[in-house]
Structure 1
C-alpha cells in the first residue's frame, strides 16, 4: 500500500511532543511491513538537520494557489533515519516556517492551512496518488476537506483520507479568510453545522470538525479516549459531530519505540537487564541514588517523569511526592512546566526539600537521566486529569517499573490494577485510582508501598507482569493497516 503522512511534526527532525513520535513510529512500522510510506513536513529553519540524510531539492517550482495569487515553493527530499521525507519551503513575505520556532505565532491557522494546501498541491503536481493520505491533529485537519472538495475532481479520486486526532483540546478554530486563502471559498456552504462551522463560535470554522466530517476514518490515540471524547466533556464540544459520524471513528492505542526504550540494550543505563535478569535493575537504582545524592537505604523509590502542567495533575504529583517521603519511600521528579507559576512552585519545593536525603527534584528535561530513572525507580506516578494515550506508563512497564495511574484515557487501556482488575492475575501490572483527589492517589500509593515493603516476592511478580506486555508498534501497526484496507474498499 502507498501511504503519505501529512504532519507538522516528525521525530526526531521536528519534534515538540508525542505527535512527532507517533508519526515516526507508525511510519517506520508500516515501512517494515512492506508498505511504501512518505512523510510531508514543513521545512522549518529550526529543524534538526543533523537527522536528515541526503537533503536535496527534488521539486524546485511548486506553485501553490493561495487566495488570488500563487506562492512559489521549493520541495526538498531527504531520509530521516531511513524514512522518506519531503520538506516544503514557501518563498513568500509571510515567511511561514523561518521563525526560529515550530509554533506560537498569531497566524498559526494560516501557516498550517498553507502547509496543508501545499502538501495537496505537491501530490497533485507530481502525480503522486497514494492509497491513503493520513493527516494528523488540527494542523493538517483540512487535508480531507481539500481532498474531497477540490482535489478529488482533479484526478485524485482514488485517494482515501484518514485523520488522527492526538488531543481534542486543540482543534484549529479560525475565521472565514482560511476558506478564501485555500481556495475552498463558499462560506455559505461551509458555515453549516454539519460541515465546518464551529459549534460555539458562529463566525469561525473548525479544522478538526472538518476532518471528522470529511475523512473516510478518524481515529484517536487510545480506545478509552475515543469513548471519553464521545461521551464526556473531553471532546471539547466535538461530541455531537463524533456521534453523527461514529461509524467511522475509533481509538487505536499508540505504540512505543521499543528500540529506543529497551532495558536490554539501553546505552544510558549502567546495568542492562531483561525479565530473566530483573535483579540487575537494582544496580540502576543504586546508580540513580548516587547520581542524585539520595540516601542508600532499604526503601522503595517512586518517580515522576514528564511535563508539569494542568493536564498531568500537578497538585497530585506534588501530593504524591510529600506522601512518599512521609511514608517511608523516596521520590525523584524530572520535568518542567511551560507555565512560569508552576515552575516557580516546584523550584520552591526543591529548595524547601534540598537537604532531604529521600527526594530529588530535577526541574528541566534530560533524556539520559530519564532513561536512568525509568530503569532505577520501583514505581512511577501518572496522575493525569486527562490523558489521550500517555507514554510514561508504557515506558515504565517496558522497564519493569510499576505504574500508579489515574483511571483515564490511555492509562486505562494499558495499566490494570493488581487488586481490583477483572483480568487474570498474571495480566495485572500496576495500581489504578479513580478520583483526581488526594485520597485517591494516597490509596494507590499506600497499596504499592505496602506490597513493596511486606511482600517483596509479590512486588517482583508485578514487575515481571509489566515486562511481559507488548506495547510496541506491532499491534497498532496492524490496526492502522486494517482501517486503511477497510476505507480503500468502501
Structure 2
C-alpha cells in the first residue's frame, strides 16, 4: 500500500513535540512491514538534514495557487531507512519556512495553509497518487477540505484521507480569509456544519474542517477519544465528534524502541533490562553525580515535561515541595514558553539551588532525559488532560514507576498498584483522579509506602512495566486495518 504522511514535523528532522515522534515511529514501522511510505514536510531552515546521505530535487518548479496568483515551489526528496521524504520549499519573499523555528509565528495559519495546498498540487501532478493520505493536527486540517472541494474532481478521487488529532488544545482558529488564500470559498464553508468555529463566531476552525471532510478521524488513545466526545476535553467540538462518531476512534501511540530501549541505549552509562534490573543502580548513581545530588537511601523522583497548564504545572510545583518535605530526591527537566510559568519555575530553581536533594533543569537536554529515565525510581505526570503521553511508556520501559492522573492515554497505559481490576502482573504504577493537591498526595503517599516497606513488590511493579509491549507494532497493525477499511469504501 502507498501511504503518504503529511505533517508539520517529524523526528529527527524537525521536531517540536510528540507529533514528530509519532510520524517517525509509525512511518518506520509501516515501512518495515513492506508498505511504501512518503512523508511530506515543510523545508524549514532549522531542519536537521545531516540524517540524509543525499538530498535532491524531485520537482524544481511546482506552481501552487495562492491568492490571485501562483507561487513557485521546489520539491526536494531524500530517503532514510526505507522511508521517502518530500520537502516543500516555496520561493517567496515571505520566507514561510525560514523563520528559525517550526511554530510560533504570527502567520502560522497562512504558512501551513499554503503547505497543505502545495502537497495536494504535488500529488495531483505525480505519476500515481497515494492510496492513503494521512494528515496530522490543525496544520494539515485544510487538506481534507481542499480534497473534497477541489482536488477530488481534478484526479485524486481514489485517494482516501485519515486525519489524526494529537491535541485539541490547538485547533487552528483563524480568519476566514485564509480559506480564500488557498482557493476555497469562505461563503460556502463558513457554516456550523463545515468550518465555522463553535466557540468564536466568525472564525474558521481548521481542525473542524479536517474532521468534517476526512474519511476517518482518530485521536491518539481510546480514552481520549471518549473524553473529547463526552467531556469538556472536547473543547467545544463534543457535538461534532458525536455527529461523526461513525468514522471516529482512538488508536494508542507507541514509542520507538530503537531510541528508547535501556538494553541498547547509547546515552546511558550502563545498559540493563528486566532480567538485569540491579544494573539500574549504576545509572541512579550517575544521575546523582551529574545533577549534584547527595548519594543516599532515598527514592529519586523524575519529571520530564513541558511546563504548561495542560501538564498540571501547579501540581508539579506542589509535588516538588511535598517530596522534599518527605525526604525524597527530585530531578526536573522541562521548559516553558509562557513567560509567567518560566519565571515561576526560575524562582523555584533558585529557591531549591542549595538543596542536595533537588535539581531543576529548565531547558531541554536529550541526553539528560535518557539519564533521568534510566536513573530515577518514579516519574510524576499530573496532566490536566493528556491525549496519549509518551513519557509514562518510556518511563516504564526503563523500570520507572509512573504516578499519573487518570486521563487520556495515561488511563489507557497505567494500571494502579492497589485499585486496578487487572492481575498484579499487569499493574505498573499509581493513578489519581482529582486534579488537586490532595489527589496527587494520595498517590505519592501510596507509592512511597510501597518503596519503603515492600521493596520486592515495588521491584515487581518495575518489571511489570518493563515487560509491557509499548512498541509501534500493535498501533501500526491497527492503522493498517483502518487504511484497508478506507480502501474498501
What's the TM-score bracket when you normalise by the shorter of the two chains?
Answer: over 0.9
Which residue number in structure 1 is paired with residue 146 of structure 2? 146
Q: Following TM superposition, by how much is the alpha carbon of 1:139 offset from its aligned partner in structure 2, in angstroms?
A: 0.4
Q: Tell me the equivalent position of 1:486.
A: 485
Q: Deviations over 1:138-174 (max 9, x none)?
A: 0011111111221111111110001001111111122
Shift of 1:244: 0.4
Please tell me whether the aligned partners of residues 288 and 376 of structure 1 are also in contact (alpha carbons under 8 angstroms): yes
CA distance in 1, matches of 2:356, 2:61: 62
Q: Give 1:366 deviation, angstroms.
A: 1.2
Contact 1:415 1:429 in 2 (8 A): yes
Counterpart position of 1:373: 372
Q: Which position in structure 1 is the counterpart of 2:75? A: 75
Report if aligned partners of 1:223, 1:251 keep a CA contact under 8 Å in 2. yes
CA-CA distance at 1:265 after TM superposition: 0.8
Alignment of 1:338-417 (within 5 A): 338-417=337-416
Whole-Å Cα distance in 2 between the matches of residues 90 and 408 of structure 1?
Answer: 40
Within a 5 Å distance, the mapping from 1:460-475 to structure 2 comes to 460-475=459-474
Deviations 1:412-452 (A, max 9, x none): 01100000011111100000011111111111111111111
Match of 1:285 in 2: 284
Moved more, 76-85 or 212-221: 76-85
Measured in 2, the distance between the counterparts of 1:242 and 1:314 equals 29
SS in 1 for 2:133: strand
Check the 8 A contact 2:36/2:83 in 1, yes or no: no
Greater CA deviation, 4-13 or 93-102?
93-102
Greater alpha carbon shift after TM alignment, 60-69 vs 388-397: 60-69
Output the aligned Cα RMSD. 1.2
Aligned partners of 2:367 and 2:176: how far apart in 1? 46
Kept in 1: contact 2:415–2:431 (CA 8 A): yes
Whether 2:78 is the aligned partner of 1:94: answer no
Contact 2:38 2:84 in 1 (8 A): yes
Does 2:300 match 1:301? Answer: yes
Give the CA deviation at 1:188: 2.9
Cα offsets for 1:11-31 (capped at 9, x unmatched): 111111111110111111111
Name whichever of 115-124 and 63-72 sits farther off. Answer: 63-72
Q: Which secondary structure state, in structure 2, belongs to the residue aligned with residue 150 of structure 1?
A: helix
- CA distance in 1 between counterparts of 2:18 and 2:370 reads 17
Alignment TM-score, normalising by the size of structure 2 = 0.98
Q: Unaligned stretches of 5+ in structure 2?
A: none
Look up the match of 2:12.
12
State the shift of 1:82 in Å: 4.3
Judge conservation of contact 1:52–1:81 (CA < 8 Å) in 2: no
Write out the 4+ residue segments of structure 1 that deviate beyond 4 Å after TM superposition. Answer: none
The number of residues matched between the two structures is: 489
SS in 1 for 2:402: strand
**Unaligned stretches of 5+ in structure 1?**
none
TM-score by structure 1 length? Answer: 0.98
Task: Report the CA distance between 1:128 and its aligned residue.
Answer: 2.9
Distance, in Å, in 1 between the alignment partners of 2:90 and 2:137 is 22
Taking the aligned partners of 1:306 and 1:460, their CA distance within structure 2 comes to 25
Bigger mean CA offset, 305-314 vs 198-207: 198-207
Deviation sequence 1:282-324 (CA, Å, 0-9, x none): 1111111122221211111111112111111111111111111
